[in-house]
Structure 1
């Protein structure tokens, strides 16, 4: 399998080496909740839930959340965070490239999963997201901007892998997804990265 393995991520969590973790939920999640892009009563899938900050925040906002991660440490952290905050969500140890929901959902919150997957896996992952969502459902995506100088020589480095907006347009094609007009909000990360916040709408196309 190209890219990081579950053991790679398990070692990072065990060592506390989680530089992507803000220690709180992403500020863009609060903006999306305030704007109604995500709201109470929605069924929301959070792939690659990590430490569970966003899972707890979505549950507190009244969403019906399914959180996924294939790393045992992440699942344990998310469950503990929910317990400590008095919130409830369904947390599953599962591979996002293989998992199938019992029913389609209203929204997917994509923050750290896509950029953690090797680009060879992106097409399959995008197909998974489309299959999880009902027509008209929304993909609230934070596309990681982590371009490195070595990209000029064709080197693929990560994680996090750089989610170039042109690559994202090709991956989430306008024939299958409704794209809002740019510019998109750029969310700064304490590590010096930037995430582009985009809400895509799944079209009724099989």
Structure 2
């Protein structure tokens, strides 16, 4: 995650298989009940979700380490006359006040599993008590990465029930154009 040259090369070489070209269908479903609020989008990529959230009146902060991602998103925001706070940098090196919601799509699966615990703590600390984590857990069924397989047998202990309220449902499968799928779960930060 924190290797800027690695991610910028992915954009330069058009190796952006995580990019759907549009916002995720999971976001459409979540927007049926999620009211405009302060929302954080870590590892936002080209920002399709950021653009849709801005269209709907959310106060968005988006973070990405790759210059091409931030540049693309800035151009799209300007084209549509929308606003969002864009931060170009390593999310582990920035501090922000807590948000009402966090949209987590392809950031966790891009981070080395050895950093997952640190990332979970970062998410927890950047979400207000009772805040919502809109999480899409990438299912690759393969070893290695990125993207790394985010098996629920690892995600549930990582997002421990002492800190996170998991939904009762099994999560919706969201098909990805890459042939993989994600499991959509709306978690809430406990007090």
- Report matched runs for 1:13-162 at 5 Å: 13-34=11-32, 36=33, 38-40=34-36, 42-101=37-96, 103-148=97-142, 151=143, 157-162=144-149
Cα distance in 2 for partners of 1:96, 1:123 equals 14
Contact 2:7–2:65 (CA under 8 A) maintained in structure 1:
no
Cα distance in 1 for partners of 2:49, 2:81 equals 14
Alignment match of 1:199 (pick from 164, 186, 190): 186
Contact 2:2–2:90 (CA under 8 A) maintained in structure 1:
no
Cα distance in 2 for partners of 1:53, 1:84 equals 13
Shift of 1:4: 6.9
Shift of 1:56: 0.5
RMSD: 1.1
Name the residue aligned to 2:168.
181
Give the TM-score of the pair, scaled to structure 2: 0.97
Alignment match of 2:150 (pick from 134, 140, 163): 163
Structure 1 gaps of 5+ residues are 152-156
Shift of 1:190: 1.1
Structure 2 gaps of 5+ residues are none
Q: Report the number of matched residues.
A: 191
